[in-house]
Structure 1
Amino acid sequence: MDVVTNFFVGLHIIGIASLLGGFLTQMKAMSAGTARFVPAMLHGALTMLVTGIVLVGLNQAQDHPLNNIKIGIKMAVLVVILALVYVKRDDEQIAKPLFGAVGGLTMANIFIAVLWT
């Protein structure tokens, strides 16, 4: 069962890398005011959502203790990110504050995962 859990952790990390990488590749465009949400950002956020739900299920199935408040906050942040990226995915230009908010929320989600023990 640990192999399956580690596989989904790896996929979860790939999802966050896709979301953050998509944001970072648009940083130069953001300073020029031409940033947009690339498909990698949407796919990364969806990957994170699906693998996160699977990981919670796998951990509950193994009777591992879970911090439901942490998981709830991370999921709420991810749903906000996903909603923003999904709604604005076809726009040619995204406002700097909105684009920056997605990057900030992504980094906040990473730090919640790593630092909240």
Structure 2
Amino acid sequence: MELLKNIILAVHIIGVASLLGGALVQMPGARRGESRIIPAIRHGAWTMLATGVLLVGLQYPLGNEVNNVKITAKLAVLLAIIVVMLLNRRRETLARWVIPTLAGLTVANVVMATAWTAYR
């Protein structure tokens, strides 16, 4: 079960890399108003959501405690990413704020995952 969790965690990190990498690739175009939602952004966001749900679900059979406040905050940030992505996915060019917002929210999610410690 621990091996399965680690494999899912690896895929989750690949999703983060895809989302953030896709946003960073589009960043120069965002300044010129020529950016768009590319497949790397879409697939990364959906991968993060699916694997994140699986990771939380696997914590219970493994006997680990789950910090529900942290998970809820991370889910809220990811849902904001998905909403921004979905609202702008079909546009040929995006408003200048879309790509930096996606990148910033992704970084915020990573910071929450790594720096947030449980205070009980």
TM-score grouping bracket, smaller chain normalisation:
over 0.9
Q: Does 1:60 align with 2:54?
A: no
Question: What is the TM-score when the length of structure 1 is the normalising length?
Answer: 0.96
| Matched residue type, 1:86 | L
Question: 5+ residue gaps in structure 2?
Answer: none
Once the two structures are TM-superposed, the CA of residue 100 in structure 1 deviates from its matched residue by 1.5
**Structure 1 residue 46 and structure 2 residue 32: aligned?**
no
What pairs up with 1:19-98 in 2 under 5 angstroms? 19-98=19-98
In 2, the alpha carbon distance for the partners of 1:39 and 1:61 equals: 34
Deviation at 1:31, TM superposition (A): 1.5
Contact 2:36 2:93 (8 Å CA) reproduced: yes
> Aligned equivalents of 2:48 and 2:60: distance in 1?
18
Q: Deviations over 1:12-43 (max 9, x none)?
A: 00000000000010111112111111111011
Partner of 2:6: 6
Distance apart, 1:87 and its partner CA: 2.0
SS at structure 1 position matched to 2:45: helix
Kept in 1, the 8 Å contact 2:18–2:43? The answer is yes
How far is the alpha carbon of 1:96 from its aligned partner? 1.1
> Given residue 59 of structure 2, which amino acid in structure 1 is its aligned partner?
N
- Over the aligned positions, Cα root-mean-square deviation in angstroms equals 0.8
Kindly state the Cα deviation for residue 71 of structure 1 after the two structures are TM-superposed: 0.3
| d(CA) in 1 for partners of 2:98, 2:48 | 20
* Aligned counterparts of 1:30 and 1:51: Cα–Cα separation in 2: 29
Larger deviation, residues 99-108 vs 14-23: 99-108
Q: How many residues align?
A: 117
Kept in 1: contact 2:34–2:94 (CA 8 A): yes
Retained in 2: the 8 A contact 1:39–1:89? no
Partner letter of residue 115 of structure 2? L
1:108 alignment counterpart: 108
Q: Once the 2 structures are TM-superposed, how far is the Cα of residue 60 of structure 1 from its aligned partner?
A: 1.3
TM-score calculated relative to the size of structure 2: 0.94
